[in-house]
Structure 1
Amino acid sequence: MLDLNIPATTSTPCIRTDTARGVLHMSGDSYPENAFEFFQPVLDWVQAYLGDSSLPLQLDIGLLYLNTSSIRIMMDIFDSAEEAFVAGRDIRLVWHYQPENERVAELAEEFSEDCSFPFEIMAYTG
């Protein structure tokens, strides 16, 4: 299984995966022209990782802005994680946000309400 290392642009987030450690990291702004096309490798990685092993998965999210299409993709990722968690998989999510960005903190809170796996919302410090 190949890891992803997608550098950030002005409209797309940095995305890195670490299959050996079971980590998916996303940070930056997310308003790609075609979110479904941009995020397809991420969706494929999540599905493959959850299907190919029983190891824990940690989602490390630091998205600063998400457009509607990106929110939809995040919901798809979280739905896959939730399904795996309900089936007994160790899933954990940490969402980092900037304290002055209340909109993203509220969005993360809304996402967390739909997830039963551990979902921590943390303000960046320093």
Structure 2
Amino acid sequence: MDALIIKGTNETPNITFDKDANKFEITGKSLPEDVKEFYNPVLRWLKAYADNPNPKTVLKVKMEYFNTASSKMLLEVLELLDGMYSAGKDVEVEWHYMEDDEDMHDAGNDYADMLELPFKMISYQHISK
């Protein structure tokens, strides 16, 4: 299965879904103009992956910001993983948030409350350059 690598911009997140490397990450900002057009390839890839997933799948989400339309698409991504988990697969989400970002912390908790999927909430400090 080919990896899905989408390089992020100021308005779209970096997405790395690589079955062979066992690396699943969504990072950055998400406010694309056409949210469905951006996320549909991600959803298609995940649906194909769900047919034959790795023994363990850990999705790392480290978002700085996402708009309402993106939050709905992220939920669809998480629901696909939740379906895998419900089917007995070993799946979890690592939700990374900056320690002073209450909105991103709350968003992670909201998703965790909506799904059966295990969530690890991981705070980090901003490192100044």
**How high is the TM-score relative to the length of structure 2?**
0.90
**Cα distance, 1:120 vs. partner?**
0.6
Q: Percent identity among equivalent residues? A: 28
2: CA distance between counterparts of 1:98 and 1:49? 30
Report the equivalent of 1:31: 31
Map 1:95-110 onto structure 2 (within 5 A): 95-110=95-110
For this pair of structures, how many residues does the alignment match? 126
- Residue 22 of structure 2 contacts residue 54 of structure 2 at CA under 8 Å; is this kept in 1? no
Map 1:37-56 onto structure 2 (within 5 A): 37-53=37-53, 55-56=55-56
2: CA distance between counterparts of 1:93 and 1:109? 11
1: CA distance between counterparts of 2:20 and 2:2? 10
Which digits, 9 at most, give the CA deviation of each residue in 1:47-66, with x for residues without a partner? 11111346322111001111
2: CA distance between counterparts of 1:42 and 1:107? 20
Q: Which runs of 5+ in 2 are unaligned?
A: none
**Cα distance, 1:117 vs. partner?**
2.1
**Cα distance, 1:121 vs. partner?**
1.0
After the TM superposition, which segments of 4 or more aligned residues of structure 1 sit over 4 Å from their partners?
Answer: none
Q: Which runs of 5+ in 1 are unaligned?
A: none
2: CA distance between counterparts of 1:62 and 1:54? 22
**Cα distance, 1:40 vs. partner?**
1.3
